[in-house]
Amino acid sequence: MKRQISIVMGANWGDEGKGSVTAKLADREGAIVVLCNGGPQRGHTSSNGKVSHTFHHFGSGTLNRKPTVLAREFMVNPMAFVEEWNELKEKGFEPSVYGENPLVTFPHDMLFNQHLERLRGGERHGSCGMGIWATQCRANENFGLRLEDFRHIEKSEFDRIWRKLIDFYKDKLDFSSMKFLEDPNFKDHYWQDLQHTLKCVPLVDKFGIFDVSKDIVFEMGQGLELDMNRKDNMPHISGSDVGVDVPLRFLERNELKGKAEVTSYFVTRPYVTRHGAGPLKYECAKEDLFYADDLTNVPNEWQGPQRYARIDVNRLIRNIHMEKRAEVKRALVITHVDETFGQVLYVEDGKDVDRNMNVFAENMRHHVDGVFASDSDSSLDPLRSVWT
One pLDDT digit (tens) per residue for the chain, 388 residues: 567 999 999 999 988 999 999 999 999 888 999 999 999 989 999 999 899 999 999 999 999 999 999 999 999 999 999 999 999 999 999 999 999 999 999 999 999 888 766 655 555 555 566 888 899 989 999 999 999 999 999 999 999 999 999 999 988 888 788 888 999 999 999 999 999 999 999 998 755 667 656 899 999 998 999 888 888 877 777 778 899 999 999 999 888 888 889 999 999 999 999 887 788 999 999 999 987 665 555 555 545 678 999 999 999 999 999 999 999 999 999 999 999 999 999 999 899 999 999 999 999 999 999 999 998 777 777 899 998 7
Burial grade of 184 (CB within 10 A; 0-12, 13-18, 19 or more): exposed
- Integer Cα distance of 303 and 228 in angstroms: 18
CA 349 → CA 157, 312, 345, 365, distances in Å?
61, 10, 14, 19
Domains of the chain (ranges, CATH numbers): 4-99+204-387 (3.40.440.10), 104-200 (1.10.300)
Give start and end residues of each alpha helix (H) in 5-68. Answer: 18-25
CA 314/CA 15 separation, integer angstroms = 20
Cα–Cα distance for residue pair 325/306, rounded to 1 Å: 32
